[in-house]
Structure formats: structure tokens, C-alpha cells
Structure 1
Amino acid sequence: MGIIKYLDYEDFELFIFDNFIINQVKEGASIEPHHNELLNEIVQEHFSNKDMVYVSNRVKSYSVNPLIYPKTEAIPNVIAIAMIPKTEVMRKNAEYERQFYDKPYEIFNNLTDAMNWVQELVSN
């Protein structure tokens, strides 16, 4: 389950593993639907014809346009989203955003619990 690749972009960092991506958005960024174009390219490059899970490790403060979720949902390889909010405000935002995504979407207190869920999903 070791890291395969690290990508550093203007608004976020991606850690690519065999069955999942961990995304850490940078402080003050604004995540909009156009970010999904890049996500889709990365998913298709690294997970072609393979299911994967998107993990959002929310350690910094940033904004998310919830209209990003229907576009994320349309990426066929992305079977689920795991959120790990750092603060109670981030948790409430993640709970609100959940209503815009119809595939499995879970919120966790820590990365370990999220990883256990991810491994369960991709092994089934």
C-alpha cells in the first residue's frame, strides 16, 4: 500500500496509491468544478479500468463549491469518497457536501479509519 506517486499543484497535493488518492488542498484555495478535469485526467492515467477511492484529508482551510460533486461522481473509476475533516466546521461542511454526491461518501475522524474503509471497499 505504499505511495506510487506524489503530485504538487497550485491548489492541492495528491498522493497516489494503488487503490486510492489522498488529496490535501492548500490553505485558502477555492475548489471549483473545473478542478475535476484534472482529477479525471489523473484518475484515467493511474487507474485506467480500475476502481479507486478519493480521500480528502482536510488539514487546511479552503472552500469547496459543492457543484464539484456531480462531476466527480461522473468519473467512472471513482467509486467512493472518504473525508477526514480536521475541525468541527470542516466536518459540518463535509456533511453538507455529502448531499451532492450519490455514491458512497463517508466522514472519518482519522486517516487510519478512512484507510480501513477504503481497503474494504476496493477488496469487495
Structure 2
Amino acid sequence: MGLIHYYNISHAEVFVFDNFLIKQVKEGVTIDLEETQELRQILKKHFKGKNMAYISNRVTSYSVNPLVCKEVEKMSNLVAIAIIPNDLKMRQSAEFEKQFFNKPFEIFNNLTDAINWVEKIVLNN
């Protein structure tokens, strides 16, 4: 892994690596289309013209507008999404969100397994 970039944006902490990013949303936030625009700016800066994966490390409780899922899916260089839920309710939410994606989308119990999976997906695309 190369250099890691860190962003503390309005709704989340974002850790950017060579082939993927890890996003940890802040407690009580509702992710809507506005928050997606903030993330798009980071993606343009670090992943313009190259494939990448998104890891959602769900360490806090928050909600996601399902319409955001369709917007995120439109990102042509996004090739995979990994979710690491912190509890059963978060896992059920991730299972629901999975229905809205037509790209590789998996749920993991830990960050290491998620990183290994997304690295394989990005390298094979």
C-alpha cells in the first residue's frame, strides 16, 4: 500500500488508499445526495481514470437514503462495495441496500477480509 490520505468531511471520515477508500460515517447522520457530492470530489481527486472500490466501515449508527445507492452505482470507476456492519441491525440494512446495486457488493465481519476482497476485485477489472 502506498500513501494514505485522510479526510474529515462534514458527515464522515474518509481514508483513501491506492485502490480503495474506507468511509466511516459519523453518528446519527442521514446520508443523502448532498453527502454523495462531497465524496465525489474526493473520488475525482484520487481515482480519476482508474478503478476503485468503496468500503463502508459501519462503526456508528446512521441511515442511508436508498436513492443514494443508485447515484453511487453510476460512478463508472467504482467496481465493488464492501460493508462491515457493527451489529445485526446494520447487517440487515446492508442486505437491503445490496438489492439496489448491480456491481459486486459483499458484507464482511472485519476490515481485513473486506480489504482483501476489494483488492482482488479492483486488480481483476
TMscore range, shorter length = over 0.9
Q: CA RMSD in A?
A: 1.0
Specify the alignment match of 1:89 in structure 2. Answer: 89
TM-score by length of 1: 0.95
Specify the alignment match of 1:51 in structure 2. Answer: 51
Moved over 2 A (4+): none
Aligned partners of 1:63 and 1:71: how far apart in 2?
A: 16
Specify the alignment match of 1:118 in structure 2. Answer: 118
Specify the alignment match of 2:7 in structure 1. Answer: 7
TM-score by length of 2: 0.95
The count of residues paired between Structure 1 and Structure 2 equals 124
Aligned partners of 2:7 and 2:69: how far apart in 1?
A: 22
Specify the alignment match of 1:23 in structure 2. Answer: 23
* AA of the residue aligned to 1:78: L
Aligned partners of 2:2 and 2:90: how far apart in 1?
A: 27
* AA of the residue aligned to 2:120: E
* AA of the residue aligned to 1:79: V
Specify the alignment match of 1:63 in structure 2. Answer: 63
Segments of structure 2 that go 5 or more residues without pairing to the other structure are: none
Helix, strand or coil at the partner of 2:103 = coil
Segments of structure 1 that go 5 or more residues without pairing to the other structure are: none
Aligned partners of 1:50 and 1:27: how far apart in 2?
A: 31
Please list the CA deviations of residues 74-109 of structure 1 after superposition, one character each: whole Å capped at 9, or x if unmatched: 111111110000101100000001111111110001
Aligned partners of 1:122 and 1:75: how far apart in 2?
A: 14
Q: 1:64–1:3: structure 2 CA closer, same or farther, 3 Å change rule?
A: farther
Aligned partners of 1:9 and 1:121: how far apart in 2?
A: 27
Q: State percent identity of aligned pairs.
A: 52
